[in-house]
Chain A
Amino acid sequence: MSTRRQGWAGSSATPGRGGRLEWCRVLLGARLGLCLGMILLGAIISAGCATSRPQGPPLTGDILVDGPRQIAEGPARDRVLWQYRTAAAAMRQGRFDLARSLLDDALLTLQGRYGPDPEARKARSLFRPESVKPFLGEPYERSMAWIYRGILYWRQGELDNARACFRSAEFEDSDAEEHTYVGDWVLPDYLDALATAKLGGDPSDALRRAGEHVRGATLPEPDPSVNTLIFIEFGPGPVKYAAGRYGEQLRFRTPPSPVQAARVTVGQVTVTAAPVDDVGYQATTRGGRVMDHVLGNKAVFKESTDAASDAAILGGAILATTGQGRKSAADEAGAALVLAGIAGKLLSAATVPEADTRAWDNLPRYLTFVQMRLPPGEHTAVIEFLDHSGRPLAGRTKTVHFRVPAHGRDTVLFVSDTSTTPQTQ
């Protein structure tokens, strides 16, 4: 402090006390202004640079137009997100080859996520939002990618690769904070059992796991002789939103589904299928993430820095006022406190604790399936989506024409309440 006082004294070599005081005031004002200007300039430059992140091309509303364009031209961090979305949309339009290639690429990215990732590291820094990380999805989203790919493998007749995908779907759900809900998808385990039975293995273990987790539906014994599988999905999937003072808490909301079940009619056979898996349940029962702690720490830093800055600015202003413009230490300390407070405010403002709410937003709420043993030849399936009272919902009935081969691979149909109709699969 004494050094600073000497500095003040040395810089005030002006004749006369009143003139010197005035000069000091001018100098103080000029330097303070200069400092504030520099800080503001820094903040502006910082903000300017922050907006230079690549943005995707404009959206048209048609996912099969937007998706490929976003994948090709949009931000790399959203590539997997658009691959997921586009694949789901392609499956609902019967474009299974497109879905397969998109999911293959997305799952390759997903499997290579181990080790240090500079982009992901940025998401953990104070001054970047979580959404700067390349999107891979929350575990329920990753599981759904595997489930879709498994269905596509089954369509190709590769039962063991389909089973591998269903096992990976369960694996993505195997590290929840809430251990009660670890690996509790039903459909992947049941399909694992069915594929194993068809391959001549012992399905009992996977079947037992599926039976332990199923709610509100009855699982049939795996029958290797079934030759037609119909996968059905319906209802709107979970929605992500940010809660907490700074949006640092990732939360999920599951919109109500008007569809509660599906009824499949093929020829004279009619089967009603209740939901086997609830994607909303999977999204909301995992508990916290490690990243939630990181975001929580960011929020605490932001809040405490802001509070401390308020105190510094207020304290500095009081000090400067009580100094009454004399060349006192109070003036100097007050100015320094105000500056520190402003700097703290900038730091607090620059801290971004918001959770990443990018979501695979065209996922369904419910998954179910129907299995049949049909004679070889041409068939037509009519799928009605039923409301709470079991009545078909108007405008949602789908028709799928398909062929059961005499020998060889199973016939696998995929139908959503948002599928195009009629389709030939």
Chain B
Amino acid sequence: MNRTIFCSTVLMGVLVWTGCASSGVKNPSGVPVTRLNPDEQGFVAGTGIESQDLVAVADKMARSILAIPQIAQAPRPPVVVLDPVENKTRFPINKDIFLTRIRAQLNSRAAGKVIFLARDRMATLERERNLKREGAVTSASDPNLQEFQGADYFLTGTLEGLSTRTRAGTSDYILYTFQLIDARTSAIVWEDMAEVKKQGLEDAAYR
């Protein structure tokens, strides 16, 4: 009988434990803010394009561009315009972020070797120029001269993906290719690539 009581007590404990575990409060004490480097994978991860991919790809491209003769040995700094990358993957992304990081890296590490044009600010720039032409604001030079520069090169890229999904999980391969295109001849004077493959499997509750 003592054993019976013991078993009953254990059973009751199990029931209490399982019952209370369903109280639905996750992380009742909260989760402290965790600062991560953008090139490391955090505890929240998917198989898509993430910050660590962006950092790795942009770093590689920036180093690669600086090494080419058209940049390294140019008699004057070539003028480059960013042309938005084309996203052919299954992941919607902020397409500008790759080129923005490459541009920022080139500007910060090789200041003066490349000049980027702010074509994405043309509306503002034209408005300012028109104000100068109308005499509404002062001008340090003759505002009637055309001083907006043309591009020597276009920097652009393509993101392509190959995705597989089976009962064993999801696999996403993404190929990042970037090109520097001569604006006068349309020749691709530089191209480099980076590739990332990720796999994951969700909990059986979602399969």
Interface residues, chain A, with chain B CB atoms under 8 Å away: 4, 7-8, 28, 31, 34-35, 38-39, 41-43, 45-50, 52-54, 75-77, 111-125, 127-128, 130, 132-133, 136, 149, 153, 158, 160-165, 167-168, 171, 174-175, 199, 201, 289-291, 294, 332, 335-336, 339, 343, 346, 350
Q: Tell me which of B22-30, B110-118, B148-156 binds A.
A: B22-30
> Taking each of B15, B22, B25, which has the highest tally of chain A beta carbons within 10 Å of its own beta carbon?
B15
| List of A residues within 8 angstroms of B167 by Cβ | 175, 290
CB-CB under 8 A for A45 and B16, given A161-B92, A171-B165: yes
Q: What 0/1 pattern do residues 1 to 41 of B give for CB contact below 8 A with A?
A: 11111011101111110111111111000000000000000
Query: Is the beta-carbon distance between B170 and A114 smaller than 8 angstroms?
Result: yes
**A-contacting residues of B (Cβ < 8 Å)?**
1-5, 7-9, 11-16, 18-26, 44-48, 86-93, 95, 163, 165-167, 169-170, 200-207
User: In the complex, what residues of B have CB within 8 A of residue A116's CB?
Assistant: 203
Of the listed residues A31, A42, A75, A343, the one surrounded by the most CB atoms of chain B closer than 10 A to its CB is A42
Beyond A165-B92, A168-B90, whether A339 also contacts B20 by CB under 8 A is: no
Q: Given A112-B44, A120-B206, A171-B163, are A164 and B24 neighbors across the interface (CB < 8 Å)?
A: no
Q: Could you tell me the distance in whole angstroms from the C-beta of A56 to the nearest C-beta in chain B?
A: 12
Chain A residues whose C-beta falls within 8 Å of the C-beta of B90 in the assembled complex: 164, 167-168, 171
CB of B59 to closest CB in A, whole Å: 24
- What's the least CB distance linking A102 to chain B, in Å? 15
Kindly report which residue of chain B lies nearest to residue A55, judged by CB atoms: B24
Enumerate 11 A-B pairs (CB-CB under 8 Å) in ascending A order: A42-B14, A45-B20, A49-B21, A114-B47, A114-B202, A120-B206, A132-B22, A132-B24, A133-B206, A161-B93, A201-B88
- Smallest CB gap from A295: residue in B: B205
Residue among B8, B14, B200, B203 making CB contact with A38, cutoff 8 Å:
B8
Would you call A52 and B88 a contact (CB within 8 A)? no
Interface contact B5-A46, CB-CB below 8 Å: no
Bound Cα distance from A45 to B22, whole angstroms:
12
For B25, give the chain A residue with the smallest CB separation. A54
Complex: A132 Cα to B47 Cα, angstroms: 25
Establish whether residues A120 and B24, one from each chain, have CB atoms under 8 Å apart when the complex forms: no
From A7, A46, A174, A339, B18 is in contact (CB under 8 Å) with A46
Cross-chain contact B206 with A49 (CB below 8 angstroms):
no
Instruction: Verify B200–A160 contact, CB threshold 8 A.
Output: no
Find chain B residues with CB under 8 A from A168 CB.
90-92
> In the bound complex, how far is the Cα of B49 from the Cα of A161, in angstroms?
13
B75 to chain A, nearest CB (A): 35
Q: Are B46 and A111 in contact (CB under 8 A)?
A: yes
Within 8 Å CB of B3, what residues of A?
4
The docked-state distance in angstroms from the alpha carbon of A180 to that of B142 is 70
Residues of B within 8 A of A124 (CB): 203-205
Q: Which of B12, B44, B166 lies in contact with A41, CB distance below 8 A?
A: B12
Supplied contacts A163-B88, A165-B92, A343-B11, 9 more A-B pairs, CB within 8 Å:
A7-B2, A34-B5, A38-B12, A54-B25, A121-B205, A125-B18, A130-B205, A291-B204, A291-B205
